A and B are shown apart, each in its own frame.
Chain A
């Protein structure tokens, strides 16, 4: 009962600001609405007992990516972006596509019998994640550093003024 209530509240905390993110005509408000969405998703992770991912979600999404997005809004259109038209001519088409996709996905998800396994998650999941990264997924781990390097170099080259 309590679990269901918590799940409903967190879903609403995730989805309602997400609606604002995609529909608000004020770009800064849309960007700030990302924060409750990300925090709601954090709550969902916690309910799924993925504590470490939840912490990272707050740190990276709410603390870093949102800040980056806000910076770019301030640096490009600033508040003038508040008064320009934000939606293009594809609104009906886009809405139709989104609703259709949602319908298809929900039908598929409810119809499929997922092979659920009753097991317990490792209680201290930072240790489990660390072990996984340093043993089974070590290649992903090392490639990630190269991806980070490439995106750092690429973004600096693109963003820097040529002079």
Chain B
């Protein structure tokens, strides 16, 4: 049996949903960022899979995957810097305890 495009898309979908679950249910800001990284990875699998099966001659999908990896790194750097800043001023990184702006 051949492993087709659909199999990769399903794995990516499952990975994406796991990431989504992590983002929705975690209290810890770092863990939320980890969920986002999983989602970005899922998107990358899709891009590379489409590249392979839909337009093999062009490498557009791989180029986009590289750009997304770059953006993921930037997002992690800035996001974690925010976590550090929040921790310094609020002494916590649990997002449900960071509620100063509620009132």
Chain A interface (Cβ < 8 Å from any Cβ of B): 1, 3-4, 7, 11, 14-15, 18-19, 21-22, 27, 30-31, 34, 37-38, 41, 44-45, 47-50, 52-53, 56-57, 60-61, 64-65, 68-69, 72-73, 75-77, 81, 84-88, 90-91, 93-95, 97-99, 101-102, 105-106, 109-110, 114-122, 125, 128-129, 132-133, 137, 140, 144, 147-148, 151-152, 154-156, 158-159, 161
**CB–CB B59/A4 < 8 A:** no
Partner of A48, one of B2, B37, B51, B94: B51
**CB–CB B88/A22 < 8 A:** no
Measured between beta carbons, the chain B residues less than 8 angstroms from A161 are 88
Knowing A60-B69, A132-B59 are in contact, say whether A4-B80 is a contact too (CB < 8 A): no
* B contacts with A: majority SS: helix
Chain B interface (Cβ < 8 Å from any Cβ of A): 1-11, 13-22, 24-28, 30-31, 33-35, 37-38, 41, 44-45, 48-49, 51-63, 65-67, 69-78, 80-85, 87-88, 93-96
**CB–CB B17/A98 < 8 A:** yes
Task: Give chain A nearest CB distance to B11 CB in angstroms.
Answer: 5
